[in-house]
Amino acid sequence: MYNVSQGRISNRLRSGALLSQADARRLGIEVGDPITYDGQLYRVQGILSSSQGLGGQARVLVLPLSAMDDQNYYDSVTILTTPAQSVEALTADIESSFNTADEEIVRVRNFASVQQNVGSFLGTLRLGLLGIGSISLVVASVAILNVMLMSTVERRGEIGVLRAVGITRGEVLRMILTEAVFLGIIGGVLGVIVSVVIGVVLFEFLVGSPLNAFRWQSAQYLLYGMLFAVVASGISGLYPAWKAANERPVEALRD
């Protein structure tokens, strides 16, 4: 049921303890070190593997069944089925054996239902974050548009001089668009840095492993965010660039 990256599991864990990687790192504990739980001394036999779901990343301590001798009840029981068994049928059997129509003594949750609930929650969260990101994108685009418009108005005379000495409309257009894209690159880089810092802090707090923030899937979202920032800046700079490129040199120099 448990996979370990260090140490071993012997005699169905009749003695000793298993510890998650997060707790082992945090407490500086290695295989063979003693730990105390509820006044009892146990020796660490193994460190849980990080590839085993949340076992290696969450803060988990696995003790022998004898550690529960003084307790008259269980908070939870994990049942491992064989591939030939039906999880749904086993769930129904347990519920019918303990629960009645008037009283629910045990609540059974199988991995499929938990996975479905987590997937539904993550889907809703993803939609919410997408909505927030879309609003932020619109606000940022409007802000860049205002900045570029103010910049072209303040540099109207400079642009008029450039046009008077032979700079073409296309060159003025490219100059303004380049500035807008450059602003987008700077904003994207700053956004990536802030996102990585927040991700590291959250992963350290939630699962005890900040390195999970640097997986390829997370890097993809960072690249998408960077791309959106550059594209949004370029689109926001189109109108100011077009307006500056089509300004008549005489009118620009007059002001």
Q: What is the pLDDT of residues 27-38, one digit of tens each?
A: 888 888 888 877
What pLDDT, on the 0 to 100 scale, is given for residue 253? 65
Q: What is the mean pLDDT of residues 91-108?
A: 80
pLDDT tens, position by position, 139-159: 888 888 888 888 887 877 787
Domain 4-75 matching CATH 2.40.40: the answer reads: yes
Residue of 190, 230, 192 lying closest to 214 (CA atoms) = 192
Taking the C-alpha atoms of residue 31 and residue 228, their distance in angstroms, rounded to an integer, is: 47
The pLDDT, as a whole number, for residue 125 is: 81
**Is the pLDDT score of 213 beyond 80?**
no
- Contact between 104 and 94 under an 8 Å Cβ cutoff? The reply is no
57 has a pLDDT exceeding 60: no
Residue 56 predicted with pLDDT over 50: no
Q: Where are the domains of the chain?
A: 4-75, 125-254
At 2 the pLDDT is 66
Given a contact cutoff of 8 angstroms between Cβ atoms, the answer to whether 52 and 89 are in contact is: no
Amino acid at 176: I
User: What does the pLDDT average to over 78-93?
Assistant: 75
- Alpha-carbon separation of residue 113 from 79, 119, 120, 142, 208 (angstroms): 15, 10, 10, 44, 25
Model-level pTM?
0.52
Q: What pLDDT, on the 0 to 100 scale, is given for residue 58?
A: 60
Is the pLDDT at 211 greater than 70? The verdict is no
